[in-house]
Structure formats: structure tokens, C-alpha cells
Structure 1
Amino acid sequence: MEHRILIVEDDADLGNLVRRYLEVKGFGVTLITDGRTAMQELAIGSYAIAVLDVMLPGADGFVLASQIRQAYPSLPFLFLTARRQQADVLKGLSLGADDYMLKPFDVDELVLRIANILRRSGDREKPSQHYVLGDYHFHPQELSLELNGQRRLLTEKESALLEMLCREPGRLLRRTFVLESLWGSADFFNGRSLDVFIGRLRKLLAGDPRLELEVVRGAGFILHTGA
């Protein structure tokens, strides 16, 4: 089945270059140049993933990401942008982005990152797995974390990371293993991204004091469930 990708990029030359390359790789691609039109397209089309620039005319890519997250919480998206300040990276990830990729970029790496996100998304079609973490109920295939009847939708990467921790409760999950499995490499930039996601999971699990997501500096992470 052909995966459809929505690219939101106001540089027509770059956008068309990426569009043509992704089409050669077997994807269906729609190129949009502004956020307002992108939301209109999402309302009528079915997409597997969105690729967003930050510097867009009118409302920027961060505003667009917030709108996507609210209207289509299960749609994965990544940023492809020249905005490389740490504050920008952290803001993009905090909005729920599954990845944040800097320009200039290697188009083959972009294809690989898209494929990795779509693979994790496809895992949701497998038989449903259910984890009980103290008072929480976690359904990774549904990207769902529930506490006292309140349901929170996770991003693809939040769900994948939490599931890795759930598989080995009370045991050290190696940092390099997480980075290579979910980000593709254990470089510094990906490491900072991982730290952001760990911080987000700690906040999500703060509703049950028996749970602790321990960071073992330089080594990895341990999920303590109090069981």
C-alpha cells in the first residue's frame, strides 16, 4: 500500500526536489507551501505522515504542528528546517514531533527517518498489547495512556520509548540501544532529543508516585513500577 506524505515547505525548488525523490521511492506526496492550506488538505485527504518546515508564510510551522496535534493526534510528523537553535529543537519536540531534522540534509537520510516513523506506526496494526503500570493502563498500539479513566494520546515515539521501558521494568535500558533503535544513531543531537522525550515521559507518569523513571547518567534508564 502506498504511503501518502504531506510536505509543507515554502521553498518551491526544494519542495519539488524532495517530492520527486520520495515519489521515486514509492511514496505518494502532496506539496503545500503554507500552514492554512495544509490544514485544509488534511481535512480532505488521508496521510500517513507530515513533513513540516518551521519558517512558513503566515503562521509558522510550530503553530501548524500545534493545530495538527490537536486535530489529528495520531498523525505522526517531523520537522525539516534550518532553525537549529536549541530552543527551536526543544520547542519542536515538545509539540509532539517524532523527529527534528536540520537543513541542509541528505535526502536518503530523510527517507530512512520517514520509513522508521512509518514502521513504528504500522506496529499499531499488530495484536493489541496492554501494560499495567501502577494506576496507569498503557496501550501502545492505540498510543494511549490512561489514568483514572482519563485518556492521554501519545506520539509515535513517546509510545515506542515507553514500550521499550515497559518490556524491562526494573532493569537498565541502555541509552545507546534506545538511540540506535528509535533514532538510528547515538550522536549528540539525537541524544538531546532522547533527553527531551524522557522528560516528557516522566511528566506523563507523575500521576502515580509509585512509578519512577530513573536516569542513570551515561548508561541508560530504569523504569521502577513499585511492584
Structure 2
Amino acid sequence: MQILLVEDDTRISDFIVKGLQENGYAIQLCPSAEEARLCLEDHSFDLLIIDIMLPGIDGIQLTRLLRYKKNRVPILILSALSDTVDKIQALDAGADDYLVKPFHFQELLARLKALQRRSSYQDFEDNSLSVGNLIFNFDQYTLTQDGRPIELSPREFKLARYLVEHKNKVVTRRQILLAVWGLNFDTNSNVVDVYISYLRTKIDESQQQYIHTVKGIGYMLKG
């Protein structure tokens, strides 16, 4: 497994590089987002570990740029920022997971293995699914409705995908949080309801309501 680490703190990067090499991973280090961007133009990696606080372009901007360019490599964000809003910002930019510093190396290793498994599962999935007049293309990260493209943010698309893959089934808010955000957010958080509202605005038509609220439980996409 080829990993690119984007980290400017030599103490942390030395710790991660040494630990991953001892566990059989091939790892390359870039101390800035700009160096990482150039490296990614010439090399492919199985996974990226990106610090947020970087010189020049920060880790969130780098993540957003990679997703804009349709780079689907799994991304694990490292950060000393632990507030929920910071985690949401990173995940909305297209990151797959978020680990707060300081961390135990075994937790980092477990998260990398989970991302690796998730990526391998996706290789066997169909590249598109349809519900009613909606067509989701997972390779191209696109959604069309009656042939008309609908623009979704990376997090909106991931939420839509989860609902489509569980269509005609009730999913709880907690299930959505775990599957789409990959973190145990405060169960009192309304982030799921907010993003459901975003999706409804974009895909629900007056004659066709796809996303239904199941009071006291969660949501169901009918199709």
C-alpha cells in the first residue's frame, strides 16, 4: 500500500513514517500542500494522510482541490483542531476520516486499515444507480435528473449515495452519521437534518418526493 503523508511537523512526520514502515507500508513525505500537489501529478497513491495546518495552501484546500479534480483516493485528515465544526468542514471538503492530534499510533493504523477495506469494497460496486428519474454515477461523482445535471457537494453526494443504496428502508440519524461522516458526532447535532434539507431542495420535485421523514426515527428514500 502506497501512502502519501503531507505534514510539515518533522516530529510528527518522523513518528508516522517510522511506524508505518515498520508495519509494511510504503510511505512518501511532502512537507507542504504544493509539493504534494506536484507529487500527485506524477505518482498515484492508495491513501493520503493530510495535516490541516500547512504552509501556504492548507489541508482543507488541498482536499477540496483533489476532489474537484475527481481524485477519489481515500483521505485521512490529521489536525489538532477538535471542534465538531472543524471536522464537518474537513469532511465536507471531501475527506473520508478525521483524526485529532495527539493520537495513539494504533488508532491511526486501525483507521488506515478501515479506509483500505472500504476502498477495496467500492471496487466491486456498480458505478451507477438510478431511482425514479435520478441517476447517480459513482465513478464521476455526478447526479442527473431527467438528463439535467444537479450539482452536489462531496458530502451531499455521499449522503445521497447512502440513501440510494438503502432505498425503501428506514435509516436512523445515527446510522447516517456513522456511514456518511464516519464519526460519532454528538447525537444532538442537527447536521443530518441540515444536509437532508439541502438534498430535498435539489432533488425533490413537487410531483415527486423522494426523501421521506420517519418521525422519531430518521429518513427513507422511496423509489
TM over 0.5: yes
Letter aligned with residue 126 of structure 1: F
Alignment check: 8 A CA contact 1:10 1:34 kept: yes
1:124-169 C-alpha deviation (Å, 9 max, x unpaired):
321526421222112446654333253868859954x544433432
Q: Report the equivalent of 1:57.
A: 55
RMSD of the TM alignment (CA)? 3.4
1:80-105 C-alpha deviation (Å, 9 max, x unpaired):
10022333222212211112221111
| Farther-moved stretch of structure 1 (122-131 vs 40-49) | 122-131
- The unaligned stretches of length 5 or more in structure 2 are none
Q: Report the equivalent of 1:7.
A: 5
Distance in 1 (CA, whole Å) between partners of 2:141 and 2:124 is: 13
Instruction: Determine if the alignment matches structure 1 residue 166 to structure 2 residue 164.
Output: yes
Alignment check: 8 A CA contact 1:125 1:141 kept: no
| Farther-moved stretch of structure 1 (47-56 vs 167-176) | 167-176
1:3-51 C-alpha deviation (Å, 9 max, x unpaired):
2111111111111211222223332211111111010111111112211
Instruction: Determine if the alignment matches structure 1 residue 150 to structure 2 residue 154.
Output: no
Identity of aligned residues (%): 26
Q: Report the equivalent of 2:203.
A: 207
Distance in 2 (CA, whole Å) between partners of 1:146 and 1:82 is: 38
User: Which of 66, 69, 78 is 1:68 aligned to?
Assistant: 66
Distance in 2 (CA, whole Å) between partners of 1:33 and 1:130 is: 37
Query: TM-score, normalising length from structure 2?
Result: 0.78
Letter aligned with residue 46 of structure 1: S
Instruction: Determine if the alignment matches structure 1 residue 221 to structure 2 residue 205.
Output: no
CA pair 206-156 structure 1, distance change in 2 beyond 3 A:
closer
CA pair 217-119 structure 1, distance change in 2 beyond 3 A:
farther
Query: TM-score, normalising length from structure 1?
Result: 0.77
Distance in 1 (CA, whole Å) between partners of 2:60 and 2:144 is: 27
CA pair 223-36 structure 1, distance change in 2 beyond 3 A:
same
Aligned pair count reads 220
